[in-house]
C-alpha cells in the first residue's frame, strides 16, 4: 500500500512539474492541460493511498494533513483555471497571471510533498 502511494505521488510530481514548467516556457496549451490533469489524478490516487495507509498504521501529523489537503485543493483549482482559460480560448490573455499563480500553488504543493516524505521517513525510523 505504501509503495503504491509513493509511486502515485512521484508520478504526480513528475507530471505536475512537467506541466508547470513546460507551460511556463511555451505558454498554456492543450498538451499542458492534459499533462496537468494526469498529475492531478496521480496526486488524488497517491493521497487516497496515503490516507488508507495512515488509517491502518497511525495518523500523519496534523500539519501535513492540512498542507496536503490545501495542496490538492490548490492543484484542482489550478487545473480548473487552466481548463477555463483553454476552453474560453483566452489562454494567451491569462498566461502572465496564470503562471504567477501557477508557481505559487506549485511551491505550496512541493512543501506538502516534501513534508510528507520527511514525515514518513521520520515515522519509519522510529
The model carries a pTM of 0.83
Q: 29 is in which domain, residue-wise?
A: 2-125
Q: What is the pLDDT of residue 27?
A: 74
> How many structural domains comprise the chain?
1
**59 phi and psi, to 5 degrees?**
-70, 150
Burial of 44 (C-beta count, 10 Å sphere; 0-12/13-18/19+): middle
46-81 pLDDT, tens digit per residue, is 988 888 887 787 766 677 778 888 888 988 988 888
90-99 pLDDT, tens digit per residue, is 656 666 677 7
What number of H helices and E strands is found in the chain?
Answer: 4, 0
Q: Is the pLDDT of residue 38 over 90?
A: yes
Mean pLDDT score of the chain, rounded to an integer? 82
Amino acid at each position: 500500500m505504501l509503495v503504491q502511494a509513493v509511486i502515485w505521488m512521484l508520478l504526480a510530481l513528475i507530471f505536475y512539474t512537467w506541466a508547470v514548467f513546460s507551460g511556463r516556457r511555451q505558454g498554456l496549451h492543450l498538451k499542458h492541460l492534459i499533462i496537468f490533469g494526469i498529475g492531478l489524478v496521480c496526486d488524488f490516487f497517491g493521497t487516497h493511498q496515503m490516507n488508507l495507509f495512515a488509517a491502518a498504521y497511525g495518523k500523519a501529523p496534523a500539519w501535513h494533513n492540512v498542507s496536503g489537503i490545501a495542496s490538492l485543493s490548490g492543484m484542482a483549482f489550478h487545473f480548473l483555471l487552466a481548463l477555463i482559460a483553454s476552453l474560453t480560448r483566452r489562454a494567451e490573455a491569462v498566461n502572465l497571471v496564470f503562471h504567477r499563480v501557477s508557481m505559487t500553488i506549485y511551491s505550496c504543493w512541493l512543501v506538502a510533498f516534501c513534508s510528507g516524505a520527511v514525515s514518513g521517513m521520520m515515522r519509519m525510523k522510529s
